[in-house]
Amino acid sequence: MNVNEVSVNGSANGVSCESGTKSAGKRSNGLCNPVKDNSSYGSYEMVEEIATYLLERTRIRPRCGIICGSGLGCLADQLTDVDSFDYDAIPHFPVSTVAGHRGRLVFGRLGGVPVVCMQGRFHYYEGYSLAKCSMPVRVMRLVGCTHLIATNAAGAINSRFRVGDIMLIRDHVNLMGFAGNCPLLGPNDDRFGPRFLGMAKAYEPALLAVAKGAARQMPGMDDLLHEGVYCCVGGPNFETVAEGRLMALLGVDAIGMSTVHEIITARHCGMTCFAFSLITNMCTMSYDEEEEHCHETFVDVGRQLEGRICELVARVVASIGESCSETPLAK
Ligand SMILES: O=P(O)(O)O[C@@H]1C[C@H](O)[C@@H](CO)O1
């Protein structure tokens, strides 16, 4: 059996307290010592229990999961018919520790399409394993999502990009994977997906085409839009000049601290993926440049582009809604 065949019927009872998380009625600070953290965090039963907990408390049956990046929480604010769950109220869920990441799961409708938004994500530098950072993607799958939209704030390596541009992610470089760190480390549970998986079409070309078509219809948007390669680093420090230059040699267009492990996890459980980066800064590529990296400024860039970004996402979600109504959702 795999996730495409399984319907959620686990029980929300009998929740146990795991190290570095919180379970019903019991709390810790939600942080893990990465050394002690279990790389294969999130058994099928645990994820199923979280999904059941949520489905018992909302009538929304989402088709698409949306992860809001730094400063992009506005995406969740667009939803109607909302049921929201603070992360610290959901059994086994980690908690957000980064400014600009609100820390709640929001079920609702975007233009009529049922979706669930992570208003705040988990990052490796917060002390969570990659498996734990991306565990909510599996929850999204078990509550019924067939599609994932991941968004992030990123620094531009590509000198043609400008702050405020949007880069549709065509592909990524899994730098942390090169170093042996991957959300799928540890025993594989075939109910989620296969042991080995191809990543050549990680980002769905049809959704990239939809986004580009939508941008052409939005005044001024076409000029802001690029397509490129994203790379995730562990953070929380930004890159040295030498590292920035190395990224350019590797063919990377923008660098961030998320998304790659979420997409790997989503592809593992058969989800169709779309992602984009909001360019919040230019990476420092020369020793003569003043480094002007500031998380709060990055969050502000997101706020300034809220309207356009929300419209872009709404249009992609609408097209997902249309494709889902043509293809019946697997149980
Ligand atoms: O959650 P995302 O990837 O959007 O967050 C980026 C990377 C760091 O967490 C933070 C740096 O300002 O923004």
Residue 125 in tokens: 């530098």
Residue with tokens 């079920």: 107
| Among 10, 6, 107, 5, CA closest to 53 | 10
| Ligand 1 geometric centre to CA of 152 (Å) | 6
Nearest-CA residue for atom 9 of ligand 1:
257
User: Which of 172, 258, 278 has the most ligand 1 atoms within 8 A of CB, as the residue to mutate?
Assistant: 258
What's the confidence (pLDDT) of residue 180? 94
Cα angle at 274 between 269 and 280, to 5 degrees? 125
Nearest Cα to 184, choosing from 292, 71, 275, 260?
A: 260
Q: How far is the CA of 137 from the centre of ligand 1 (A)?
A: 18
68: closest CA among 104, 110, 108, 21? Answer: 104
Within a 10 A sphere around the Cβ of 178, how many other Cβ atoms?
A: 10
φ, ψ for residue 152 (rounded to 5)?
Answer: -155, 165
Please give the span between the terminal C-alpha atoms of the chain, in angstroms, as a whole number. Answer: 12
What whole-number distance in Å separates Cα of residue 310 and Cα of residue 72?
9
Residue predicted with more confidence, 249 or 330: 249
C-alpha 70 to ligand 1 mean position (Å): 5
- Residue-wise pLDDT for 17-43, tens only, equals 233 344 433 334 444 444 444 456 889
Residues noted as catalytic: 70, 101, 123, 125-126, 153, 257-258, 281, 295
Mean pLDDT across 157-180? 97
- Whose alpha carbon is nearest atom 1 of ligand 1? 69
Measured in degrees and rounded to the nearest 5, phi and psi for residue 97 equal: -125, 5
Nearest to 278 by CA among 296, 260, 252, 304: 304
Q: What is the DSSP letter of 6?
A: P
Using CA positions, which residue lies closest to atom 12 of ligand 1? Answer: 295
**Any residues with Cβ below 6 Å from ligand 1, and which?**
69-70, 98, 121, 123, 152-153, 235, 256-258, 295, 298
> What pLDDT shows up at residue 294?
86
Name the maximum alpha-carbon separation found in the chain.
Answer: 59
In this prediction the ipTM stands at 0.98
Count other Cβ atoms within 10 Å, centred on residue 9.
9
Assess whether pLDDT exceeds 60 at residue 329: no
pLDDT the model gives residue 55? 98
Cα 22 to ligand 1 centroid, rounded to whole Å: 24
Rounded to 10°, the helix 130-142/260-268 angle is 40
Taking alpha carbons only, the member of 60, 90, 318, 80 closest to residue 210 is 318
Rounded Cα–Cα distance for residues 118 and 33 (Å): 23
Per-residue pLDDT, 165 = 96
- Return the ∠ at Cα 104 (arms to 60 and 280), rounded to 5°: 115
